Amino acid sequence: MTRCRAVPSRSILRALVLPVVALICVLQASAASAQWPRTVTDIAGREVDIPSKPQRILLAEGFQILALSFVSPDPVSLLAGWGGDLRTFDPATYALVRDRFPDIENVPTTGMGSGETFSLERALALDPDLVVFSLWQARGNLAETAAPFEAAGIPVVFIDFYLDPLANTLPSLDLLGRILGEEQRAREYAAFYRERLDFVKKRLAAETVPRPKVLLHAFPEVWPCCWSAGGRGVGELIDLVGGRNIGAERFPSPNGGQLNLEVIIEEDPEVYIATGSSGTGPGVALGAGVTEDEARSDLARVIGAPGLSSLSAVVEGRVHGLWNFFNGSPINILAVEVMAKWVHPELFGTLDPGETLAEINDRFSAVPFRGAFWVDLVPGAMP
């Protein structure tokens, strides 16, 4: 004889299950709240107390929304305000953020990122619970920059992807992860980043190769001829990939400086790299919303200028374009890979920056990067 087993009614099951679910939610909330307050050390070496998980962050530099997107699935929801520099200087990249997170349109701005335009009064009125500055914005005076917010009980941290990208990119991302309780996201990208950086370093260390002269020409046709990368900032990346930046000794700062055309002709660089963005007017359009054909057409026009057209780099077909704002964001690893191929094509023929970008979009960044972020004057010039 088959025994019949009574089946609990839905109401009984609900009565049994709901308290368990509620208990789990309470335990999870308690565990999360137990993580705060916490103390972090920012990129400037300052110990900063974070009393609770930030919900209203002020990003003093708008470009840092790209960094925040690596540690938060919805970075815009965390903003009380931000700098207007991304929207002004690279409107197509701003459009990438807006297309993914339309609420960015409603986030107030506090200036253009630089000290002269930053509105302290407006920033304080936004009532943030955390302020994030880029290290360059302090202009060497960290205490003065942070003081008004700290006096109001608002913690301030400094991050850096621009002044010293090799030393500070991953620590800055780790800092943001710890501040938001998103350490795992930061660790996963750090592992990905280090693997690719180590590949470049080890390949160069294993070979004895010449160091070709490189001119990284920032914003041609926008700025007077010819603004060169300096020894720091993106200049560090040129050195890393085995190039010799002709502006390094002349300009030790990350901002670089202006080289006379006569100096460039005398140096005769073997690799020419123009930088540009989507919103600089003339020059080379590069980045979000730009096609390779558009970027290549601009690059051909720029390099046809008197003096530049006779450089060895042009004669040998080693002319390239690079999105200017790689230096200043956690995707600078792409600039490393691309320039490694340009400077030493014989060593890095198997390296695929496009594949790296696809994986960044697929696995890490809440804001996908779509567009031509680098280009060769001659299609297929990269092996």
Q: What CATH number is associated with residue 291? A: 3.40.50.1980
* pLDDT band for position 140 (cuts 50, 70, 90): confident
Q: Is the pLDDT of residue 23 over 80?
A: no
Q: Is the pLDDT of residue 160 over 70?
A: yes
311 and 214: one domain? yes
Q: Is the pLDDT of residue 383 over 80?
A: no
Eight-class DSSP state of 164: S
pLDDT value at residue 7: 42
Interaxial angle between packed helices 353-363 and 183-205, expressed in degrees from 0 to 180 and rounded to the nearest 10 = 170
* pLDDT band for position 35 (cuts 50, 70, 90): confident
Please name which of 134, 93, 96 lies closest in space to residue 277, comparing C-alpha atoms.
93
* pLDDT band for position 252 (cuts 50, 70, 90): confident
Q: Any idea which of 116-120, 208-212, 349-353 has the lowest mean pLDDT?
A: 116-120
133 and 268: one domain? no
Sign, CA torsion 216/60/80/107: negative
Choose one of 165, 180, 195: the last residue of a domain: 180
Mean residue pLDDT of the chain comes to 89
Q: Is the pLDDT of residue 176 over 90?
A: yes
State which residues form the domain around 355.
210-376
Give the residue, 298 or 224, on which the prediction is more confident.
Answer: 298
Please check whether residue 187 lies inside any domain of the structure.
no
* pLDDT band for position 253 (cuts 50, 70, 90): confident
Sign, CA torsion 231/232/236/237: negative
18-23: average pLDDT = 46
173 and 253: one domain? no
At 297-339, the pLDDT tens digits run 999 999 998 899 999 999 999 999 999 999 899 999 999 999 9
Q: Any idea which of 48-57, 60-69, 114-123, 126-135 has the lowest mean pLDDT?
A: 114-123
How would you label 33-60 residue by residue, b for 16+ Cβ within 10 Å and e otherwise? Answer: eeeeeeebebbbeeebebeebbeebbbb
HSE of 380 in the Cβ direction (CA atoms, 13 Å)?
A: 0
289 and 355: one domain? yes
Please name which of 355, 321, 320 lies closest in space to residue 196, comparing C-alpha atoms.
355
160 and 230: one domain? no
Please check whether residue 202 lies inside any domain of the structure.
no
257 and 300: one domain? yes
Choose one of 129, 164, 180: the last residue of a domain: 180
Q: Is the pLDDT of residue 173 over 70?
A: yes
260-288: average pLDDT = 92
Q: Any idea which of 185-194, 255-264, 330-339 has the lowest mean pLDDT?
A: 255-264
Is residue 237 within 8 A of residue 169, CB to CB? The reply is no
Q: Any idea which of 27-41, 120-134, 166-180, 264-278 has the lowest mean pLDDT?
A: 27-41
Sign, CA torsion 158/45/174/233: positive
pLDDT value at residue 113: 58
10-23: average pLDDT = 47
Domain total in the chain: 2
Please check whether residue 299 lies inside any domain of the structure.
yes
